[in-house]
Amino acid sequence: MIDYLTGAIVILAGAALLLPLLQLSKRSSEKLPGYLLSLALGVAMVFLLMFTINPTQVSWSGNLIAPDKLGGIFALVTVGVTLAVALASIDYQKGPSNPVYYSLLAFTALGMVLLAYAQDLLLLFVSWELMSLPTYVLAGFDKKIRSNEASVKYAIIGAMSSAVILYAISLAYGLTGSTQISQVVQQFVNHPTALAGVATLLFVAGFGFKMSIVPFHMWIPDAYEGAPTTISTLLAAATKKAGFIAAIRVLLAITTIYVVTQSPLFTMANVFAVLAVLTMTLGNVSALTQKSMTRLLAYSSIAQAGYMLIGFVAFSNAPGSAAASLGLTGTIFHVINHSVMKGVAFLAAALVAMQLRRSDLKAYDGLARRMPLTAFTLAVAFLGLAGVPPLSGFWSKLILVLSVANGPYAWLALAAILNSAFSLGYYAWLIKRMYIDDPESTEKVKEPFWFVMVFAVMVGLIIGIGLFPQQVISFASSAASSFVG
């Protein structure tokens, strides 16, 4: 009997391969590919949920796939975001190339699912490329100068990232004679040589590009601004999370190795702590100076990656401790929350850009009078991203802060609190623009059905998880436990 994970993979692969055939039919509706992909993603999500609730060994995979709840959460999050993007694209994306557009989305989703469960470095790399290559094309799908520029920059940086990861894998294989992540980690821990430290740093750099952590964030603002905003949603809320699952599987497993030297100053925890504070601070400070909504959201997304790294610090500082488990739980929980909050913020920005034909911040003056549902959605997403209670973002940030509050990294907890307070400045300023400032025009603007449906579901999640967080926290904790085990 076919297992649920295999079923989800087959559905996504079938959608990716068959959707382009719709271009051969002149009678097919422009929206049909979007509906078909949405259906396929919805069924795949049901299969993934069933597999996550009751993970079983995948017979055909050998030792390539780890059937655990950690992979299940990341697979559900990334496919869920792809489903939201596909539904929003039904109204957003128009043209004869629609079947190819949705096929590329399906390939990206397939790559992210395989990456979520990968426990072999070669499968991890193949999945990474299957996820990344379609997004290079999608980033330039508008065929405008800025979109083409974004696509080229993203492709060049992405190729560099892939090359760095592949070199790290080759070093790991040369040192250990295996591509199984567990065996590589065990050898690195038993023999923490300088070359093993170099391989570890290369993994940090390679994954860091996709995770958008400083100093590997340079491509983010330009790519997010130039790409179609629905694709910016995919990059910020889905493929970025795939970078985090790869980092968790590889880097967090290497928790006792010293990086480059045997000096206690160069532990993984210290490396992650420095990257975390730089990432959250630079992201928030840069966001404050932006005049484009997509660039502001891009820098905000960078800052959020800094918060997620706090869990890496807690885990690396004391592997096996309660603080380590709490930190990883906080990171997983914030990944879920950030995917919803940032995803719906980018989709709201996509709707404003589509309907008002502009993306500068002046377009948001008085938005609540012209597009009330969009303005409310943005307000809830912004408050959640800032960590305002009782919304979902508050609880995941609280868990991350508590994981490092009692110990040598208490200063990192203080930095996270100060950065959250600072971010509330520009989020509140944007809410003030939408609800208090006068609009350039008082004419009502249509808010399409599929956008409104996605907004309703995602805002419901932000508020619902915030009011009743315990179930999601328990789910994240069980995923963290499956990884530790």
Alpha helices by DSSP H, 357-469: 367-370, 372-386, 392-405, 410-435, 449-467
Is residue 433 assigned to a domain? yes
Q: Do residues 195 and 171 lie in contact, with contact meaning Cβ atoms separated by under 8 Å? A: yes
Q: Do residues 273 and 409 lie in contact, with contact meaning Cβ atoms separated by under 8 Å? A: yes
More reliable by pLDDT, 62 or 358 = 358
CA dihedral for 126, 130, 136, 137, sign (positive or negative)? positive
Give me the residue label for tokens 């012209």: 370
Mean predicted lDDT score pLDDT of the chain: 88
Locate 187 and state its tokens.
């050898």
pLDDT value of position 98: 86
Rounded CA separation 110/127 (Å): 8
Is residue 364 assigned to a domain? yes
Mean pLDDT (whole number) for 184-213: 85
Amino acid of residue 377: T
pLDDT value of position 256: 58
- Of 330, 268, 278, whose CA–CA distance to 302 is shortest? 278
Residue 128 has pLDDT above 70, yes or no: yes
Rounded CA separation 115/118 (Å): 5
Q: How many angstroms separate the first and last alpha carbons of the chain? A: 28
Locate 13 and state its tokens.
């692969």
Q: How confident is the model at residue 14 (pLDDT cuts 50, 70, 90)?
A: very high
Is residue 58 assigned to a domain? no
Rounded CA separation 51/38 (Å): 20
Instruction: Count Cα atoms within 13 angstroms, Cβ side, for 374.
Output: 30
Residue 65 has pLDDT above 50, yes or no: yes
Alpha-carbon distances, residue 201 vs 168, 196, 197 (angstroms): 8, 9, 6
Does the bond joining 134 to the residue before it have cis omega, within 30 degrees of 0? no
Backbone angles phi, psi at 391, to 5 degrees: -75, 165
Is residue 311 assigned to a domain? yes
Is residue 441 assigned to a domain? yes
pLDDT value of position 185: 85
Mean pLDDT (whole number) for 439-446: 84
Rounded CA separation 333/400 (Å): 9
Containing structural domain, residue 296? 283-485
Q: What is the pLDDT of residues 217-259, one digit of tens each?
A: 888 888 888 888 889 889 888 888 888 988 888 888 776 555 5
Q: What is the pLDDT of residues 374-419, one digit of tens each?
A: 999 999 999 999 999 999 999 999 999 999 998 899 999 999 999 9
Residue 1 has pLDDT above 50, yes or no: no
Instruction: List the single range of 185-199, 254-268, 308-322, 388-402 with lowest mean pLDDT.
Output: 254-268
Dihedral (Cα; 242, 248, 249, 255), 10-degree rounding: 160
Q: How confident is the model at residue 280 (pLDDT cuts 50, 70, 90)?
A: very high
More reliable by pLDDT, 55 or 231 = 231
Instruction: Count Cα atoms within 13 angstroms, Cβ side, for 166.
Output: 10
Is residue 160 assigned to a domain? no
Q: What percent of the chain has pLDDT over 70?
A: 96
The DSSP secondary structure of 249-265, one letter per residue, reads HHTTT--SPBSSSS-GG
Q: What is the pLDDT of residues 138-163, one digit of tens each?
A: 988 877 667 788 888 888 988 999 99
Can you say how many angstroms the Cα of residue 167 is from the centroid of all Cα atoms in its chain? Answer: 24
Alpha-carbon distances, residue 441 vs 190, 363, 376, 430 (angstroms): 67, 10, 19, 18
Rg value, the chain, Cα: 21
Backbone angles phi, psi at 180, to 5 degrees: -70, 125
Is residue 206 assigned to a domain? no
Degrees to nearest 5, angle at CA 367 with 361 and 368? 145
Amino acid of residue 17: L
Is residue 172 assigned to a domain? no
What is the reported pTM?
A: 0.92
List, in sequence order, every residue forming a beta bridge with 118; answer none if it has no partner.
Answer: 65
More reliable by pLDDT, 66 or 468 = 468
pLDDT value of position 357: 83
Mean pLDDT (whole number) for 174-194: 85
pLDDT value of position 307: 94
Rounded CA separation 215/279 (Å): 8
Mean pLDDT (whole number) for 256-283: 78
Mean pLDDT (whole number) for 85-112: 90
Amino acid of residue 398: L
Q: How many structural domains compose the chain? A: 1
Q: What is the pLDDT of residues 342-366, one digit of tens each?
A: 999 999 999 998 888 888 888 899 9
3-state helix vs strand vs coil in the chain, percent to 5: 80, 0, 20
Locate 317 and state its tokens.
């500082």
Give me the residue label for tokens 């419901």: 460
Q: What percent of the chain has pLDDT over 90?
A: 52
Alpha-carbon distances, residue 383 vs 104, 423, 459 (angstroms): 33, 10, 11
